[in-house]
Amino acid sequence: MDLDSNNHSVFLLHYHLILVVKYRRNVIDDTISDRLKAIFEYIQPKYHISIQEWNHDGDHVHILMKAHPNTEISKFLNAYKSASSRLIKKEFPSIRKQLWKEYFWSKSYCLLTTGGAPIEIIRAYIKSQGEKAR
């Protein structure tokens, strides 16, 4: 097991994040998922977060991510949801029509710590969610 560290601590923090599209609209395909992931990757360094696994269904995404102890995850999520909502609706006019003036994402999200589960188990679970959707 590879541990992360900074000046005064050693840690290993994995989170399983599930973000759901507003009204559970079935709008996420491979192209949109790839764009959502690219936006996530662009924003993540500022918050000391890194993607370990990414998968999607038509109305939600599963993300396995690592974070530092001082990461403000709620601020990261607000920044990501705002930026991705704005960009996706701008770049994909068909989604703007389906959601009209609404945000892309639901206000709610699910954030779980992975606890003591081996990361391979969590990674396999998230992969299986994407395979089940296809």
For the chain, give the percent of residues with pLDDT over 90: 59
Give the integer Cα–Cα distance in Å for 50 and 42: 10
CA atoms within 13 A of residue 2's CA, in its CB half-sphere: 2
78 domain residue, yes or no = yes
User: Residue 34 sits in which domain range?
Assistant: 10-133
Please list the residues that pair with 87 across neighbouring strands: none
Q: Using CA atoms, how far apart are residues 5 and 106, in angstroms rounded to an integer?
A: 34
pLDDT for residue 131 is more than 80: no
What is the CATH number for 102?
3.30.70.1290
Give how many domains the chain has, as a whole number.
Answer: 1
> What pLDDT, on a 0 to 100 scale, did the predictor assign at position 119?
74
How crowded is residue 110: how many other Cβ atoms within 10 Å of its Cβ? 11
What is the SS3 assignment for 20? strand
* Structural domain includes residue 3: no
Q: pTM of the entire structure?
A: 0.85
Mean pLDDT of the region 86-93? 92
